[in-house]
């Protein structure tokens, strides 16, 4: 392997170790705060994708199409809302933290909503697919 490949591989390994060892309660600068916000959003997005996929498997074809339409509309809303909410700091060093913090908060709320739909009981009239 060429020397540059080894250097690149080492840098990637160190970066991944830093991400795993990050203690967001002790973030000391804006870069660390931004990284923590990105980590939080990534974790929320992974959970959302898993909850969505699991729930969608239980639906019939028509319900699955409806859920996909709802999810696409929700993503557009989330993204537009967070762009607006973070616009006050656009161009500043805190923009990434504020924007990704908003995305994480909205995504965590959507996970909660989908989990509620996925765990509703038979007889609940607002439940398209009881457990």
How far, in Å, CA of 52 to CA of 59, rounded? 11
**What are the boundaries of each domain within the chain?**
29-131
Q: What are phi and psi of 120, to 5 degrees?
A: -70, 155
CA atoms within 13 A on the CB side of 117: 19
How far, in Å, CA of 101 to CA of 81, rounded? 12
pLDDT tens digits for range 37-63: 999 999 999 999 999 999 999 999 999
The answer as to CATH 1.20.1270.180 being correct for domain 29-131 is yes
pLDDT tens digits for range 96-108: 999 999 999 999 9
- Note the pTM of the prediction, 2 decimals: 0.78
pLDDT tens digits for range 5-18: 444 444 444 444 44
Q: Can you tell me whether residue 11 is helix, strand or coil? A: helix
| DSSP letter, residue 26 | G
- pLDDT reported for residue 20: 52
Residue 106: how many CB atoms within 10 A of its CB?
Answer: 21
């Amino acid at each position: 392997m060429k020397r540059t490949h080894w250097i690149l591989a080492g840098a990637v390994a160190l970066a991944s170790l830093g991400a795993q060892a990050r203690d967001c309660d002790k973030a000391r600068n804006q870069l660390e705060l931004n990284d923590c916000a990105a980590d939080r959003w990534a974790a929320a997005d992974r959970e959302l994708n898993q909850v969505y996929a699991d729930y969608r498997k239980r639906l019939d074809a028509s319900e699955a199409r409806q859920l996909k339409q709802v999810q696409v509309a929700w993503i557009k809303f989330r993204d537009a809302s967070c762009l607006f909410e973070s616009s006050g700091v656009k161009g500043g060093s805190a923009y990434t933290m504020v924007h990704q913090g908003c995305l994480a908060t909205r995504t965590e709320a959507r996970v909660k909503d989908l989990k509620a739909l996925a765990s509703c009981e038979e007889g609940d009239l607002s439940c398209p697919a009881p457990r």
